[in-house]
Structure 1
Amino acid sequence: MRKVTAGLFHSVDGVVSDPNLWQFDSFDDELGMGLDRMIKSVDTVVLGRVSYQEWAGYWPTASVDEDFAGFINPVEKHVASRSLTEPLEWENSHLIEGSLEEFVGGLKERDGGEIAVCGSISVVRQLLFAGLLDSLTLMTHPVVAGRGRRLFETDDPITRLSLQDQYRTSKGNVISTYGLLGE
């Protein structure tokens, strides 16, 4: 069975949105190498509408970070949206029809590499609480962002996690990977 993974840049105070506003100079070579290892095992990406629209407007013509652009542009992308319609403009992008949980459950049963949820805070939450997310990696930067969207909300259910891996980079980022307890 294929794994479904997610990784989010994260501030000490829990903000996961708009890391470009608070990452500053803490993105280091070790963090980059970890992301490179991750994308080597991924052949399918799941995105929410907001992340899809932001990324589709940037990555197809991006001149920086050619390694990530070389990964994200050709990879198979599935988009969870109630408002977008086919055909989607970004290459290899397709709308998810029906339930996100049923679709991702079906993807897990197919042959292939890892399935990565990229960005897409609400999709990460939905798949985690549905028991479909095999690992959640939080790349915590040594900064208090103050404002921004957090991954978890005050009315989320209590959900027990297990620490699968953790390491610290030279610039003080702490990369922690969690799975559901008992997985």
Structure 2
Amino acid sequence: MSRKVTAHMFYSVNGVSESPDKFQFDAFGQEEGERMGAALAPITEMVLGRKLWEEWRTFWQSDAVGADDPFGAFINPIRKHVISSTLDGDLDWNSTHVSGDPVAYVNELKQGEGGDISVAGGVETVRSLFLGGAIDTLTLTMHPAITGEGRRLFDETVPLSRLELVDSGTSSLGNVFLTYAMRSRD
């Protein structure tokens, strides 16, 4: 039995996924935290792009994060796989460098032992792994905000792709949660 690979991205009403901290500000509350906690509970490994890995590595190991921070307690010890064409050598922060074909790597990781795997980003990492079939479900949390600029998860370079809605919900803060899988091509 293979492990499940999931991804979760935040985005604005106009589809921007880059730098969600710029538009999440007042739309992330207890319900969103509970959903995130439930989604992370079965996760034993993470896949990240280099840029996000570098940002998180710096922040989550810093003194700014308290010992009782729930996400810090989750992310610091978990095994991380970093997709990068520019990194080389051994990585710290319980991380492994992924070289070669990321889709093949994640598909092989799925066949290993352990809990589920989360792909945390960035935009290009989630896009390529989802379109390549390595991600089983993609949850998009749409925040009630419009941002003028930023990269979109699915831009004009993405070919027509059919999705299947597998779960949805709305929070009291106005966030919409949409979980998709690629629709089978039969």
User: TM-score, normalised on structure 1?
Assistant: 0.95
Superposition RMSD on alpha carbons, in Å? 1.4
Q: Distance in 1 between matches of 2:130 and 2:161?
A: 9
Match of 2:31, SS state, is helix
Seq. identity, %: 41
Quick one: which amino acid aligns to residue 171 of structure 1? L
Give the structure 2 partner of residue 86 of structure 1: 89
5 Å-filtered alignment, 1:159-170, equals 159-170=161-172
Give the structure 1 partner of residue 16 of structure 2: 15
5 Å-filtered alignment, 1:143-182, equals 143-182=145-184
Give the structure 1 partner of residue 47 of structure 2: 46
Q: Distance in 2 between matches of 1:41 and 1:21?
A: 28
The Cα of 1:133 is off from its aligned counterpart by 1.1
User: TM-score, normalised on structure 2?
Assistant: 0.94
CA contact (8 A) 2:47 2:121 kept: no
> Structure 1 stretches (4+) deviating beyond 3 angstroms?
none
Give the structure 2 partner of residue 59 of structure 1: 60
Give the structure 1 partner of residue 73 of structure 2: 70
Query: Which is worse superposed, 92-101 or 7-16?
Result: 92-101
5 Å-filtered alignment, 1:83-162, equals 83-89=86-92, 91-162=93-164
The Cα of 1:155 is off from its aligned counterpart by 2.1
Unmatched tracts of structure 2, length 5 or more: none
CA contact (8 A) 1:22 1:145 kept: yes
Match of 1:57, SS state, is helix
Match of 1:24, SS state, is coil
The Cα of 1:147 is off from its aligned counterpart by 1.1
Aligned length: 182
The Cα of 1:86 is off from its aligned counterpart by 2.1
CA contact (8 A) 2:8 2:119 kept: yes
